[in-house]
Chain A
Amino acid sequence: MIRPLRHSHLRAWCVLAPFLAVVLVLAASARRDATPVNPGVRWERLP
């Protein structure tokens, strides 16, 4: 009997789809300025 298992995929996505859309929108709206504080400093090159 796997009908409940089949339907659980749909239920999972009914929750996950709007939730992840909200996460993406929230994250995009909170995006910080990508410009480094001091553009002359390359942290990856620091010793």
Chain B
Amino acid sequence: MSVQYQAITWSRQKKVYDVLLASGAAGFLGLFVAAGAVTHPEATAETLLIRALGTCAFVMLHLILCIGPLCRLDKRFLPLLYNRRHMGVTMFLTAAAHGVFSIIQFHSSGDENPLVSLLSSNTRVNSLSAFPFQQLGLLALLILFLMAATSHDFWLHTLTPPVWKRLHMLVYAAYGLLVAHVAFGALQSAASVWPAVLTGAGLTIVAGLHLAAGIHERRRDSPLPARTHDGFVAACEFDAIPEGRATVAMIGAERVAIFKHEGKPYAISNVCAHQNGPLGEGRTIDGCVTCPWHGYQFRPDTGMSPPPFQDRVPAYRCRVDSGKVWVHPQPVRHDG
């Protein structure tokens, strides 16, 4: 949360995360190259490195894609979400290294410009076994570059969260291109069946988690039976809300988080102003609703961030009547 543009602040948690990430990637690369040198003694160091970098980036992309739906399905995975962008940028750098080494190895020995060679040397689009898979990888790399380049909060604020989120959904296109890149590339010449089996297992896990989380979210978005009174909508039982926590209800067309704070009900939008995180899954800390994703805070009565911050989310009038919390679907205007 910031009042102005700020470079990245390196908290201890971020440093630990990044050290673990870097050592995990380095360990993976080292093990992969060592195992490859034993099982494929004919392969050169360049080939082993290219394979190791490509596999490492592909595995990281799977992990990144699993974190979002896992968090939607089970809150215990939320800590993984906190620095997911760091993993995204690391994955892009690893994939870029794979691309650069591949271009040097396969396209730089002729008299053609390596990039021209990459784009023009294979045009057999009507052959499955000789499909131009390298172009698919290049396209995926361009998408990953766009995402890594816009990953900082500066771009999030500049583009606004909904646009930024839509832009970053392009990761699904990149994933699709990379599955095809692997299927028509590495899997075609692999002597063992295991790479194909593992790629299929990865796709099953990623797609299965996304479909399960999507269905779960759609169910939660079913509108409440419209019980209204004075324009207020019956949202939930007051006693069912734990102190300092919230219940999320569909009010009109969007989710509202109804918090119990110091024994009273407060209703604010469930959508965090930062990256659309689920505020209703957070709790009140120091009198403020705290987002479970990256810790942005909002006052439960006004939806405004505590000074000096200027972020805000819509707040709604609500009251308790006959044990139920009633919420007015029209957000309250708080100026200043």
Contact = CB atoms under 8 A, between A and B. Distances in A.
B221 A6 contact: yes
Interface residues of A, number: 30
Contacts of B276: 2, 5
A30 to B, nearest CB: 3
B113 interface: no
Contact of A20 (B128, B191, B207, B271): B207
A37 interface: no
B172 interface: yes
Given A8-B169, A16-B176, A44-B47, A24 B200 contact: yes
B207 A13 contact: yes
B330 interface: no
B254 A24 contact: no
B interface, over-half SS: helix
Given A6-B217, A14-B211, A34-B190, A23 B180 contact: yes
Interface residues of B, number: 42
Contacts of A42: 42
B183 A24 contact: yes
Contacts of A8: 166, 169
A31 B129 contact: yes
A2 B278 CA distance: 11
Given A13-B211, A27-B188, A28-B196, A5 B162 contact: yes
Given A3-B254, A10-B211, A14-B211, A30 B128 contact: yes
B210 A24 contact: no
A23 B44 contact: no
Contact of A12 (B172, B187, B196): B172
Interface in B35-84: 42-44, 47
Q: Considering residues B172, B214, B254, which has the most beta carbons from chain A within 10 angstroms of its beta carbon?
A: B214
Contact of A1 (B129, B166, B254): B254
Interface of A: 1-3, 5-10, 12-14, 16-17, 19-21, 23-24, 26-32, 34, 42, 44-45
10 contacts: A2-B165, A3-B254, A13-B172, A13-B210, A16-B175, A17-B203, A19-B176, A24-B183, A24-B203, A27-B184
Interface of B: 42-44, 47, 128-131, 162, 165-166, 169, 172, 175-176, 179-180, 183-184, 187-191, 196, 199-200, 203, 207, 210-211, 213-215, 217-218, 221, 253-255, 271, 276
